Amino acid sequence: MSPRSIFLTVLLTAVALGSWYLARQHSGEDDAGAATEPVNRGYYLVSARILGTGEDGRLLYEIEAARAEQRDDTEIAFSDVRINYSPTSEVPWSVDADSALINQDGSVLKLSGHVRAVSSEGFSGNDTEIRTDYLELDPERYVAETDERVQIRIGARSLTATGMLASLKENQLKLKSNVNGKFAP
């Protein structure tokens, strides 16, 4: 073996050992940094059914969703969601949407994407349908509200407006602005 070959072998061995040592130190720093970062260990449910109860413990409503996922410690996200009131609550409404978010205290559901509320005993005792892209629902107080554009069909009558406040238990509806309607005789 020539002195040049010995020199190259020693040099390559030193470079290999040096790169291994540096790589080992670098990966150790990543592990130490990762250990100090909090890990979000949320949950998810497929074909979820969540029950909401009143102060007396009786069933008020149920939320059915294709998927429910804990986003962080403060909210749960639902997809393909449907909310039904219990028959004992005497609220003949069901609400469905593409997605919903509920905060930790569960007081308000923020529904979005093709939101539709329907009742066969809705406003004025007629079949009623409310459509919008966004709706905030307080299921325990039976209140639905939005500042977005709404389309409302009450029997043969139809209305559009910007913004709405509805009391589902009392079958009362207040439209906020830009109200337009079509009434059949």
Per-residue pLDDT tens for 121-138?
Answer: 877 777 889 999 999 999
> What pLDDT does 99 receive?
95
List, as own/partner pairs, every contact residues 139-142 make where C-beta atoms lie below 8 angstroms and the sequence separation is at least 24, other chains included. Answer: 139/52, 139/60, 139/61, 139/83, 139/85, 139/109, 140/52, 140/54, 140/60, 140/107, 142/85, 142/89, 142/91, 142/167, 142/168, 142/169, 142/170
**Each residue's pLDDT tens digit, 146-168:** 999 999 998 888 889 999 999 98
Is it the case that residue 37 has pLDDT exceeding 70? no
Tell me the residue range of the domain where 58 lies. 44-182
**Each residue's pLDDT tens digit, 52-111:** 888 888 888 899 999 999 887 788 899 999 999 888 888 888 999 999 998 877 789 999
- In a shared domain, residues 32 and 54: no
- In a shared domain, residues 26 and 75: no
Q: In CATH, what number is assigned to the domain containing residue 78?
A: 2.60.450.10
- In a shared domain, residues 20 and 52: no
- In a shared domain, residues 25 and 68: no
- In a shared domain, residues 27 and 117: no
- Collapsed DSSP state (helix, strand, coil) of residue 29: helix
Is it the case that residue 41 has pLDDT exceeding 70? no
List, as own/partner pairs, every contact residues 157-164 make where C-beta atoms lie below 8 angstroms and the sequence separation is at least 24, other chains included. Answer: 157/181, 157/182, 157/183, 157/184, 158/182, 164/130, 164/132
- In a shared domain, residues 97 and 8: no
The total number of structural domains that make up the chain: 2
> What pLDDT does 98 receive?
96
CA distance 100 to 117: 14
- In a shared domain, residues 48 and 88: yes
Is the pTM value of this prediction over 0.85?
no
- In a shared domain, residues 98 and 48: yes
